[in-house]
Structure 1
Amino acid sequence: MTQRQLKLGLVTTGVGGPGQTNRWLDPEIPVDASVNIDWYIDIVRQAEAAKFDLVFIVDSQFITADSPPHYLNRLEPLTLLSALAVATSHIGLVGTLTTSYNDPFNLARRLASLDLISKGRAGWNVVTSGDAGTAGNYGREEHYDYATRYSRAFEYLDVVRGLWRSYEDDALVRDRATGVFLDKTKLHALNHKGEHFSVVGPLNIQRSPQGEPVIFQAGDSEQGRDLGATVADAIFTHARTIEQGQAFYADIKRRGATLGRNPDEILILPGFSITVGDTDDDARRIEREHRRLDQSFDQALAEFGRAFGWHDFRQYDLDAPFPAAALEHAKSSFFTQAKHITDLAVERGWSLRQTIDHQRDQFTSPFVGSAETVADEIQRWFEGRAFDGINVHAGHPSQFRRFTEEVVPLLQARGLFRTDYDQSTLRGHLGLPIPDNRRVESRDPIPIVARRSAVG
């Protein structure tokens, strides 16, 4: 068996994502970074030079004036990743696209196009959209409820993967001597009719060198964990402590094994900010300084309502008990996150001010210290099965450079991370098999409902 290898991803949020309202004031960041293709190319090439597995583009399609700066003005993921595909040669290209507000055929075609343009480096982060306001941008009166969102997502994945397998691998003969372009017996319509979608197919694009895009998933609810364990190749998550990471890791691997999947083929890749200093004390000073400058309390209060369907918490007395009734506004939004916040505030008797302060602390990281300390902690989490790798938030440019120039070489010297690429596709980097494309017409797929109940 080959030695288990750490995976590294880059998460770019340009002028500042959640909790980083003022990050754009850093003079090293162009004020238009989130729509500046030259800035993206530069930072992704830095990651590729450090032999990162992938770049991860987050996305949503609803904003308010209180949204973080990066959310207010950013490039659409697949357009951006297609540009990055021709500016890079090895790094994987993962984009966030929602199953709630895209048609399966169109999304399957766009992702397959990116996969061919990049020669097999595409990945899809599957989300169901937590921002309830997105509904109004797509002609709907209300956002889909939780159950419907995840029911659609399960069926959606079946449709998209079925479309990606429209052509058998040797279907396109392209033989000039015989004049045969296509072996028509190896092109297959989908003819899907389900609860949410009716899609005839076939898809008008072949598979890539990695077969089809890698499936990523982000969601911590029971439905989200079920979806990830059922369909995901890799899962984007968050953890504040090694114990939380180990619990999530074990749970997802167990769910996958229950479904007959190889747990080693479901990678857990949480996102973290990393702060590197000359010493541990210096790193903690840098982290405190960045937290102080990147977002004020008033800005945090304005942004706090996102998980609650952008409910405005500025209307409440900051020093009164946390307004638990506000959870009602989260029913079609990020309900799992909002309920966790509410339950914790009620259990501990916090005021709204104390709850906001606690949430601001969520942006502290377990990976703060000298390069040696950060490498030690990453190794401890990795070997302790708290994750299979890290999606590193780029944050302030100076900090990302310190990670790639000081921490990554230590991880390489310890044999935890590659010193060079030995594969050309994203599946190859991640150690994932190419999905089987053989068609067995007599074998029906496992019904979606049965797959879900098998997990629970």
Structure 2
Amino acid sequence: MSENKRQIKLGAFLMETGHHIAAWRHPDAQADGGLNFEHYAQVARIAEQAKFDAIFFADSVSVRDTNLASLSRTARADHFEPLTLLSALSVVTRNIGLIATVSTTFNEPYNLARKFASLDHLSGGRSGWNLVTSSTESEALNFSFEQHPEHAVRYERAKEFYDVVAGLWDSWEDDAFSRDKQSGVYFDPDKLHVLNHRGKHFKVRGPLNVARSPQGWPVVVQAGASDAGKELAAQTAEVIFVAHQTLEEAQIFYRDIKSRLARYGRQPDHLKIMPGIFPVIGKTEAEARAKFESLQELIHPTVGLALLSAMSGGVDLSGYPLDGPVPELPETNGGKSRQRLLLDLARRENLTIRELYLRIAGARGHQQVVGTPESIADQLQQWFEEEGADGFNIMSPWLPGGLSEFAELVVPELQRRGLFRTAYEGRTLRENLGLPRPVNRYVRIEPEQRSPVAAH
């Protein structure tokens, strides 16, 4: 096999006890997983031993579900702040990437740039930032807002936020710090650059008080699939995590995003598209189906309905009959692309409200695959080879067992087909994903054209 052959990229999307809404009730799940470091260390090592590219954490800065009857029956109310957790996991892993979600809506660019640059140094070049705009009212209420900012404003702020963060990551050139004891020169002042950003949403002087990180910049990830989200991704993202139900949907999205890159001077292979996949694995199809049904039986109707309401943009569905059709949903100020995906799924398959929440209880709108290692590998191969994906974000039904099964059964099948690595290509997340290292913007400017460093 040629060393240059295109191969599948794999991320392990880790949730507290697993992705199924009732995962914590599975007999083999770690029920206190959200605040159990040894649990996370175990699953991170499983993913690294299987040569996954990265582990990934979603995040929200609120307890999202205000329905206590539902919330009290799920394992979503308590979990680590992801950057803190990944900093700890960087010590017990060596090669796997470490990607955390941090919102541009309720953070400041300087703090975020500093934290991710620090994680990149701590991990030897393995950090990634999943850039999102928050989408729930519950988050806004924790940050002195009376109501959630409008969708268009959130994306406008996100673009400027990214510009500031990227500028701060270029505060220092790669070789700025000589730390020469003999001469007494700690850093070269000509290789320090002050951002002095003044925009609509932010005024940030800089420079960052962390040296340029091993990767130049941490890898930038996004998950938006609205038109505004896709355009922001085409400008800024290096990996996209996305939800698709069919290969045709995935192909349309893939070609759309890749076609947008040229106008920003980017190459198609400099952006990896990785749909979420929720795999339930059995030695036979019947065994896999039985495993899935045993999880489905653990869902309380209150939990299922609350999940569907939350994912529909916060629309209250409690007044509709569970076994009746999914109603037309009003446009909300929440996430738009996921609401559209759920409505399309309900209409395409003529699902009732109950049937729809059962469909999304594990994958939450991502692709659900229930089958043998060979049949699951067949689907991943088809999506990969037919321009539906560059890789996949694996959403284990429960943890740690669901991830162990994928690592032990599906990964070897992908390797046998020459579709997945048997050894890491490099030490950094960029090297393993096949992404270029960003060139510091100031290196291309002649010294006499550089602005002088402002005095402190």
TM-score (normalised: structure 2): 0.90
Task: State the alpha-carbon separation in 2 of the partners of residues 51 and 16 from structure 1.
Answer: 20
Residue in 2 that maps onto 1:402: 405
Task: State the alpha-carbon separation in 2 of the partners of residues 313 and 201 from structure 1.
Answer: 47
Task: State the alpha-carbon separation in 1 of the partners of residues 217 and 324 from structure 2.
Answer: 52
- Answer whether contact 1:237 1:270 (CA < 8 A) is retained: yes
Residue in 2 that maps onto 1:425: 428
Per-residue Cα deviation, 1:352-386 (whole angstroms, up to 9, x for no partner): 45654565596584533222222222212111121
Residue in 1 that maps onto 2:335: 334
Task: State the alpha-carbon separation in 2 of the partners of residues 16 and 46 from structure 1.
Answer: 14
Counterparts of residues 210-221 of structure 1 (less than 5 Å)? 210-221=215-226
Counterparts of residues 84-95 of structure 1 (less than 5 Å)? 84-95=89-100
Task: State the alpha-carbon separation in 2 of the partners of residues 356 and 26 from structure 1.
Answer: 19
Instruction: Give 3-state SS (helix, strand or coil) of 1:420's partner.
Output: coil
**Matching residue within 3, 6, 22 for 1:4:** 6
- Amino acid aligned to 1:296: H
Percent of matched pairs sharing the same residue: 43
Task: State the alpha-carbon separation in 2 of the partners of residues 238 and 344 from structure 1.
Answer: 12
Residue in 1 that maps onto 2:386: 384
Task: State the alpha-carbon separation in 2 of the partners of residues 244 and 220 from structure 1.
Answer: 12
Cα 1:288–1:353 shift into 2, 3 Å: closer
Per-residue Cα deviation, 1:185-212 (whole angstroms, up to 9, x for no partner): 1111100001111100000111222111
Per-residue Cα deviation, 1:366-409 (whole angstroms, up to 9, x for no partner): 53322222222221211112111111112223332221112111
Residue in 2 that maps onto 1:448: none
Task: State the alpha-carbon separation in 2 of the partners of residues 322 and 5 from structure 1.
Answer: 40
- Amino acid aligned to 1:374: I
Say whether 1:51 aligns with 2:48: no
TM-score (normalised: structure 1): 0.90
Alpha-carbon offset, residue 214 of structure 1: 0.1
Greater Cα offset, 335-344 or 423-432: 335-344
Residue in 2 that maps onto 1:451: none
Cα 1:154–1:438 shift into 2, 3 Å: closer
Cα 1:275–1:341 shift into 2, 3 Å: closer
Task: State the alpha-carbon separation in 1 of the partners of residues 324 and 378 from structure 2.
Answer: 42
- Answer whether contact 1:99 1:152 (CA < 8 A) is retained: yes
Say whether 1:314 aligns with 2:318: yes
Task: State the alpha-carbon separation in 1 of the partners of residues 22 and 351 from structure 2.
Answer: 27
Task: State the alpha-carbon separation in 1 of the partners of residues 375 and 303 from structure 2.
Answer: 32
Say whether 1:60 aligns with 2:44: no
Alpha-carbon offset, residue 180 of structure 1: 0.4
Instruction: Give 3-state SS (helix, strand or coil) of 1:203's partner.
Output: coil
- Amino acid aligned to 1:38: E
Cα 1:372–1:91 shift into 2, 3 Å: same
Alpha-carbon offset, residue 413 of structure 1: 2.0
Instruction: Give 3-state SS (helix, strand or coil) of 1:97's partner.
Output: strand
Residue in 1 that maps onto 2:114: 109
Per-residue Cα deviation, 1:56-114 (whole angstroms, up to 9, x for no partner): 01111222233583431010010000000001000000000000000000010011110
Residue in 1 that maps onto 2:40: 40
Residue in 1 that maps onto 2:302: 298
- Amino acid aligned to 2:303: Q
Unaligned runs of 5+ in 1: 445-456
Residue in 2 that maps onto 1:186: 191
Task: State the alpha-carbon separation in 2 of the partners of residues 319 and 372 from structure 1.
Answer: 35
Greater Cα offset, 4-13 or 88-97: 4-13
Cα 1:369–1:255 shift into 2, 3 Å: same
Residue in 1 that maps onto 2:150: 145
Alpha-carbon offset, residue 306 of structure 1: 1.1
Residue in 2 that maps onto 1:393: 395
Cα 1:358–1:138 shift into 2, 3 Å: same
Unaligned runs of 5+ in 2: 450-456
Residue in 2 that maps onto 1:76: 81
- Answer whether contact 1:421 1:429 (CA < 8 A) is retained: yes
Alpha-carbon offset, residue 299 of structure 1: 1.8
Backbone CA RMSD of aligned residues: 2.4
- Answer whether contact 1:14 1:29 (CA < 8 A) is retained: no
- Answer whether contact 1:235 1:267 (CA < 8 A) is retained: yes
Alpha-carbon offset, residue 24 of structure 1: 0.7
Task: State the alpha-carbon separation in 1 of the partners of residues 278 and 186 from structure 2.
Answer: 50
Task: State the alpha-carbon separation in 1 of the partners of residues 273 and 4 from structure 2.
Answer: 19
- Size of the alignment, in residue pairs? 437
Residue in 1 that maps onto 2:452: none
Cα 1:358–1:287 shift into 2, 3 Å: closer
- Amino acid aligned to 2:27: P
- Answer whether contact 1:283 1:368 (CA < 8 A) is retained: yes
Instruction: Give 3-state SS (helix, strand or coil) of 2:139's partner.
Output: helix
Task: State the alpha-carbon separation in 2 of the partners of residues 48 and 150 from structure 1.
Answer: 34
Task: State the alpha-carbon separation in 1 of the partners of residues 346 and 288 from structure 2.
Answer: 30
Residue in 2 that maps onto 1:168: 173
Task: State the alpha-carbon separation in 2 of the partners of residues 229 and 86 from structure 1.
Answer: 33
Alpha-carbon offset, residue 302 of structure 1: 2.0
Say whether 1:28 aligns with 2:28: yes
Task: State the alpha-carbon separation in 1 of the partners of residues 432 and 349 from structure 2.
Answer: 44
Counterparts of residues 238-249 of structure 1 (less than 5 Å)? 238-249=243-254
Cα 1:355–1:49 shift into 2, 3 Å: closer
Greater Cα offset, 81-90 or 202-211: 202-211
